[in-house]
């Protein structure tokens, strides 16, 4: 029987139990009430209010422009749509890199103003002190290593990270350090599957992969990508479960046709 079948709300302890028992963890993003409701009722373990909202909801080219206030708005909407999933919220770019006090203040704002259950921060050793401070305040922290989109201008491209030995070694050190700092889990984004396997086996906390292969303890996808809403975005790691862009496009065209022809509303659709 699965670890979480009977429980009311997924907790970080349940996620740890799932790793210990070899049960995979399923995570998706959501940014608004309606999508959160569908995803939560579907039985997802973790909902990530990702700063990918900057791209898929607001149309920016990167995750950098989204603000702390905007993340809180998205997170509060998602919380209102969930009863079961653990809701994790990204600390946006510029809200935690300054120092650990700033990081704690941002994390506290997210928890207080949205009702979220945990926060996520990108980075390794360089943010370990911030992780320690946030965890010491009682706030669960998820880490994020590999391709960290808030550093896209440093990387230059969205290609696979840690293919070279030096970067792979740094990732191995980073994951241990952020585990020691108190992270309850870590996202591994776009790294070779073999490296993800090695680090997943080397730490106690669950790893959640995106483009990091089959050996991670769980998987995450951006919900708009897996539903086929982000037309033209087809990286190798993405499995698209629907083609919602074309479905919605078709529905919109039918509606326009019905309105223009006078077919909608009919006599049963009026008072
Ligand atoms: O912001 C986001 O959606 C993320 C996922 C890609 C893990 O961080």
Give residue 136's pLDDT.
98
The burial class, CB within 10 Å (0-12 / 13-18 / 19+), for 1 is exposed
Give residue 8's pLDDT.
87
What's the rounded mean pLDDT across residues 55-59? 98
How confident is residue 123, by pLDDT bands cut at 50, 70 and 90? very high
Same domain, residue pair 236 and 250: no
Q: What is the tally of structural domains in the chain?
A: 2
C-alpha 254 to ligand 1 mean position (Å): 34
Q: Which atom of ligand 1 is nearest to the CA of 90?
A: 1
Most informative mutation of 26, 35, 39, 63 for ligand 1 (most atoms within 8 A of CB): 63
Whether 158 shows a pLDDT value over 80: the answer reads yes
Residues with CB under 6 A from ligand 1: 29, 48, 50-52, 90, 187, 189, 210, 220, 222
Same domain, residue pair 19 and 117: yes
Same domain, residue pair 217 and 259: no
Distance of CA 7 to the CA centre of its chain: 22
How are beta strands 86-90 and 118-120 bridged, if at all? Answer: parallel
What's the rounded mean pLDDT across residues 129-137? 98
Same domain, residue pair 250 and 215: no
SS3 category, 50:
coil
Q: What is the pLDDT of residues 207-248, one digit of tens each?
A: 999 999 999 999 999 999 999 999 999 999 999 999 999 999
C-alpha 255 to ligand 1 mean position (Å): 34
Q: What is the pLDDT of residues 159-197, one digit of tens each?
A: 999 999 999 999 999 999 999 999 999 999 999 999 999
Q: Atom 8 (ligand 1): residue with closest C-alpha?
A: 50
Q: Atom 4 (ligand 1): residue with closest C-alpha?
A: 50
Q: Which atom of ligand 1 is nearest to the CA of 187?
A: 7
Domain boundaries, position 250: 245-271
What's the rounded mean pLDDT across residues 30-34? 98
CATH code of the domain in which 215 resides: 3.20.20.60
Whether 7 shows a pLDDT value over 70: the answer reads no
Same domain, residue pair 249 and 270: yes
What average pLDDT does the chain have?
97
Assigned domain for 110 exists: yes
Q: What is the pLDDT of residues 76-110, one digit of tens each?
A: 999 999 999 999 999 999 999 999 999 999 999 99
C-alpha 185 to ligand 1 mean position (Å): 14
% of the chain exceeding 70 in pLDDT: 97
Whether 254 shows a pLDDT value over 60: the answer reads yes
The burial class, CB within 10 Å (0-12 / 13-18 / 19+), for 271 is exposed
Same domain, residue pair 177 and 259: no
How far apart are alpha carbons 228 and 238 in whole angstroms? Answer: 10
Residues with a known catalytic role: 189
Give residue 6's pLDDT.
65
How far apart are alpha carbons 100 and 2 in whole angstroms? Answer: 38
C-alpha 268 to ligand 1 mean position (Å): 45
DSSP annotation of 141 reads E
Q: Atom 2 (ligand 1): residue with closest C-alpha?
A: 50
Could you write out the DSSP letters of every residue in 163-229? -SHHHHHHHHHHHHHHHHHT-SEEEEES--HHHHHHHHHH-SSPEEEESS-TTSSEEEE-HHHHTT-
């Amino acid at each position: 029987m699965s670890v979480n079948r009977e429980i009311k709300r997924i907790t970080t302890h349940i996620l740890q139990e799932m790793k210990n028992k070899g049960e995979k963890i399923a995570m998706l993003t959501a940014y608004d009430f309606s999508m959160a409701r569908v995803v939560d009722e579907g039985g997802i373990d973790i909902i990530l209010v990702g700063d990918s909202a900057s791209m898929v909801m607001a149309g920016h080219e990167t995750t950098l422009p989204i603000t702390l206030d905007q993340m809180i708005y998205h997170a509060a909407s998602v919380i209102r749509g969930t009863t079961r999933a653990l809701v994790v919220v990204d600390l946006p770019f510029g809200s935690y890199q300054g120092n650990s006090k700033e990081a704690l203040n941002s994390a506290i704002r997210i928890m207080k103003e949205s009702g979220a259950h945990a926060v996520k921060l990108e980075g390794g050793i360089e943010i370990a002190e911030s992780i320690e401070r946030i965890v010491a305040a009682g706030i669960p922290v998820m880490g994020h290593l590999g391709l960290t989109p808030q550093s896209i201008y440093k990387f230059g491209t969205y290609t696979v990270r840690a293919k070279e030995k030096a970067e792979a070694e740094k990732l191995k050190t980073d994951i241990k350090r952020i585990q020691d700092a108190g992270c309850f889990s870590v996202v591994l984004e776009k790294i070779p599957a073999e490296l993800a396997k090695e680090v997943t086996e080397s730490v106690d906390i669950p790893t959640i992969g995106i483009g990091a292969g089959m050996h991670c303890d769980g998987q995450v996808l951006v919900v708009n990508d897996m539903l086929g809403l982000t037309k033209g975005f087809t990286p190798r790691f993405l499995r698209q479960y629907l083609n919602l862009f074309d479905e919605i496009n078709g529905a919109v065209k039918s509606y326009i046709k019905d309105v223009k022809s006078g077919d909608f509303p009919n006599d049963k659709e009026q008072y």
